[in-house]
């Protein structure tokens, strides 16, 4: 079983973000789950990948050509896929995974997370999506989603598209319980 992780290419200002990434990495290895991620060597991305590899786990990095340079690419992946575009990367990251998880990150993390949510809303996939709310990092985002729902831009049935937790173990257990069969329709996404 593989899990796709979206997270920062920076480490953030709170050491708890990197600690949480390392805890996730150890949990993945102990559960024998593979990591699918963006293939970077920097920030939280680098921390999680290197911790998984150092613990003997499997890492599949999927990176677009323009980011496949020494400064940012993690060369010790078990498997490295270099693709032509960000779109292709995001598609493959989901295709190769049974569940999706976001850790603290910036614009790139939110882009990936919201594309996964949007595609799920459109029933293009049925992977469970987790949000690890480390030290309340995502509280403002969760408030925004409440606001979007309260003001009529998010349907009630789509309000809870993510499983949110501050506990790594609880969140991975919940994702595992919901890991379903992919419903992906490649042709619709081009």
Smallest gap from Cβ 11 to ligand AMP, in A, equals 10
As a whole number of Å, the CA-based R_g of the chain is: 16
Applying CB under 6 A, does 47 fall inside the site for ligand AMP? no
- Give the one residue of 20, 109, 134, 145 binding ligand AMP; rule: CB under 6 A: 109
CB neighbours of 63 closer than 8 A, spacing ≥ 6?
38, 39, 40, 73, 80, 81, 82, 83, 89
- CB count in 10 Å sphere of residue 31: 13
Name which position in 8, 12, 128, 130 contacts ligand AMP (CB under 6 A).
8
Cα 152 from chain centre: 27
- Which sign, positive or negative, has the C-alpha torsion 165, 91, 125, 141? positive
Region binding ligand AMP by CB under 6 A among candidate stretches 108-116, 123-131, 146-154, 163-171: 108-116
Instruction: Give whichever of 39 and 128 is closer to ligand AMP, judged by the CB atom.
Output: 39
CB closer to ligand AMP, 88 vs 149: 88
Binding site for ligand AMP (CB under 6 A): 6-10, 38-40, 42, 45, 63, 67, 72, 105-109, 112
């Amino acid at each position: 079983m593989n899990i796709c992780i979206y997270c920062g290419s920076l480490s953030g200002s709170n050491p708890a973000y990197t600690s949480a990434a390392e805890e996730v990495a150890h949990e993945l290895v102990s559960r024998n789950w593979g990591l699918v991620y963006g293939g970077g060597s920097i920030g939280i991305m680098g921390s999680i990948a290197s911790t998984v590899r150092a613990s003997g786990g499997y890492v599949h990095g999927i990176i677009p050509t323009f980011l496949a340079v020494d400064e940012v690419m993690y060369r010790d992946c078990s498997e490295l896929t270099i693709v032509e575009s960000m779109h292709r990367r995001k598609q493959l990251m989901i295709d190769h995974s049974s569940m999706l998880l976001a850790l603290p990150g910036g614009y790139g993390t939110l882009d990936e997370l919201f594309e996964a949510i949007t595609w799920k809303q459109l029933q293009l996939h049925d992977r469970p999506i987790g949000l690890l709310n480390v030290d309340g990092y995502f509280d403002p985002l969760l408030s925004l989603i409440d606001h979007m729902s309260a003001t009529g831009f998010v349907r009630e049935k789509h309000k809870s598209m993510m499983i949110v937790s501050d506990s790594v173990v609880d969140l991975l257990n919940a994702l595992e319980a919901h890991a379903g069969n992919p419903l992906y329709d490649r042709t619709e996404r081009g």
